[in-house]
């Protein structure tokens, strides 16, 4: 009897293991087995990101954007930007970690011709020492499969996907492509000239256009990234020094591989910049970062961290920011048009180079100081926000739409809609669009 119980227990355990493995394989919450969308490292824990580098090594791109969470929030609409570049980023990523990530990425992507390195201030002064994945070969190994099929982390994520009733916004887009590729084959072979079929297809394209005009973004009303709350000079001084060293090493690595390199400063909200420069050490950090990027770059440096109507917009009603550090994809399109098409608005950004960097730094500091003086009560309130409201829900988030947004916001949403609709239309016609191609035009 005991023997039968033991056999039964073994069989039961084996069945559970098989079911868990099959569940995780079919759900594929990290998009590894089907690798059918995009190199998105945010989908996987930081100590396993090499799995995605391996899975997506054949998704070539001539351009890479490297950064942290702010870079992701700018170029969140991957269903569009995936046709131009690979986005390589992780949250709370020091520049030491970014250097190793970039080195490993370039191992898998020797086709890279240009790189845009986005400068994230918190990555320099905060402690981002949480362990990350280490390179362990070109192919998925036993350890990788054990994590993907049987780990508690993967299983929890799979169950969450089931609970939410959808896998992911990215996977939804892939299902759209698959469905329409099948429809294209049917159209070509059986119903190519059938008017009723063509009318149905046109109707579905119009429905797609409608769906893609429903834009929303996350908003965190209680997130105030006040540097004095996060920054301890004695503890973080060495972090700053090390990050500068690895930023320089990143530049040297890219030059060794003859990769055209551009440095970009994010369009942070002016309130955050005001909080930042309130600390003399961090003010020096900002200025020295600009000098360093100019010194190590063969190109002009793009500085979007300037005082203009967007960075000084009313935070609660701006339609431009997820929080003070993270601009949303409306500003993302404005930044992209500068980087890709050299299309800009007056005062949107500055170009920094060896001839003008000191003058530009001085001018920027003056404008920021003027903003601080004119908004002193607001800056002080934000500086002491957590002290005055110690029990506030920092992680409170809202989903906001763009109802009532000004033209300078809606024009970018219309542009997304127009370009994404064109991409969908090309896919419906069965045309192949090469991913990761900087010269793409839509």
Is the model's pLDDT at 193 over the cut of 90?
Answer: no
Range scoring the smallest mean pLDDT among 133-142, 191-200, 318-327? 191-200
Q: Which of 145-154, 208-217, 288-297, 362-371 has the lowest mean pLDDT?
A: 208-217
Q: What is the pLDDT of residues 325-343, one digit of tens each?
A: 999 999 999 999 999 999 9
For the chain, percent helix, then strand, then coil, each to nearest 5? 55, 10, 35
- pLDDT score recorded for residue 232: 67
What's the token pair of residue 322? 């997820």
Three-point CA angle 102, 107, 108, nearest 5°: 100
Sequence-separated (6 or more) residues with CB below 8 Å from residue 230: 122, 125, 126
Q: What is the pLDDT of residue 170?
A: 43
Q: What is the pLDDT of residues 148-165, one digit of tens each?
A: 999 999 999 989 888 776
Question: Can you point out the beta strands (E) in 235-382?
Answer: 260-265, 301-303, 350-352
| Residues 6 or more apart in contact with residue 435 via CB below 8 angstroms | 59, 60, 61, 82, 83
> What is the predicted pLDDT for the residue at 181?
40
Instruction: Pick 200 or 417 by higher pLDDT.
Output: 417
- On whether the CB atoms of residues 290 and 358 are closer than 8 A, the answer is no
User: Is the Cβ–Cβ distance between 334 and 323 less than 8 Å?
Assistant: no
Q: Is the pLDDT of residue 247 over 70?
A: yes
CA distance 53 to 135: 10
CB 156 within 8 A of CB 300: no
Tokens of 181: 């590729």
Tell whether the model's pLDDT for residue 440 goes beyond 90: yes
How far apart (Å, rounded) are the C-alpha atoms in residues 339 and 351?
A: 11
**3-state SS assignment for residue 301:** strand
Q: Which of 122, 121, 37 is nearest to 305 (CA)?
A: 121
Overall CATH class of domain 61-126+166-175+215-428: alpha beta
pLDDT over 70 percentage in the chain? 84
- Residues 1-7 have a mean pLDDT of 66
Angle (nearest 5°) at CA 232 between 229 and 236: 125
Section 267-294 average pLDDT: 92
State both tokens at 212. 């893609």
Domain boundaries, the chain: 61-126+166-175+215-428
CA–CA gap between residue 197 and residue 216 (Å, rounded): 33
**Mean pLDDT, residues 11-26:** 85
Q: Of 156-170, 208-222, 297-311, 325-339, which gets the smallest average pLDDT?
A: 208-222
Confidence of residue 366 (pLDDT cuts 50, 70, 90): very high
């Amino acid at each position: 009897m005991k023997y039968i119980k033991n056999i039964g227990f073994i069989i039961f355990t084996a069945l559970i293991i098989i079911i868990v493995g099959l569940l995780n394989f079919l759900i594929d919450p990290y998009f590894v087995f089907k690798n059918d969308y995009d190199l998105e490292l945010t989908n996987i824990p930081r100590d396993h990101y090499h799995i995605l580098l391996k899975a997506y090594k054949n998704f070539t791109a001539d351009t890479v954007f490297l950064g942290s969470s702010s870079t992701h929030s700018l170029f969140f609409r991957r269903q569009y930007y995936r046709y131009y570049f690979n986005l390589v980023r992780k949250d709370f990523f020091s520049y030491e970690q970014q250097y190793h990530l970039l080195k490993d990425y370039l191992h898998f992507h020797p086709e890279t011709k240009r790189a845009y390195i986005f400068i994230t201030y918190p990555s320099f002064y905060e402690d981002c020492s949480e362990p990350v994945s280490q390179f362990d070969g070109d192919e998925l190994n036993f350890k990788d499969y054990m994590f993907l099929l049987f780990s508690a982390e993967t299983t929890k994520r799979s169950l969450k996907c089931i609970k939410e009733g959808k896998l992911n916004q990215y996977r939804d887009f892939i299902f759209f492509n698959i469905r329409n590729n099948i429809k294209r084959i049917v159209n070509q072979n059986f119903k190519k000239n059938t008017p009723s079929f063509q009318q149905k297809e046109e109707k579905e394209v119009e429905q797609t256009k409608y769906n893609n005009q429903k834009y929303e973004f996350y908003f965190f009303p209680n997130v105030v990234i006040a540097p004095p709350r996060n920054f301890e000079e004695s503890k973080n001084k060495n972090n700053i020094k090390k990050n500068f060293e690895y930023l320089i090493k990143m530049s040297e690595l890219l030059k060794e591989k003859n990769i055209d390199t551009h440095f970009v400063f994010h369009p942070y909200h002016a309130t955050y910049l005001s909080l930042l420069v309130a600390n003399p050490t961090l003010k020096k950090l900002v200025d020295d970062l600009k000098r360093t990027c100019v010194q190590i770059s063969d190109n002009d440096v793009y500085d979007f961290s300037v005082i203009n109507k967007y960075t000084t917009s009313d935070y609660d009603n701006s339609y431009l920011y997820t929080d003070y550090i993270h601009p949303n994809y409306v500003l993302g399109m404005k930044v992209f048009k500068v980087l890709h098409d050299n299309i800009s608005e007056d005062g949107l950004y500055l170009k920094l180079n060896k001839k003008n960097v000191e003058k530009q730094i001085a001018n920027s500091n003056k404008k920021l100081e003027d903003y601080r003086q004119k908004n002193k009560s607001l800056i002080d309130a934000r500086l002491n926000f957590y002290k005055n409201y110690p029990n506030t829900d920092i992680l409170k988030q809202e989903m906001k739409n763009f109802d009532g947004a000004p033209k300078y916001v809606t024009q970018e949403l219309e542009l997304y809609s127009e370009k994404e609709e064109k991409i969908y239309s090309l896919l419906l016609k069965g045309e192949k669009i090469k991913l990761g191609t900087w010269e793409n035009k839509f």
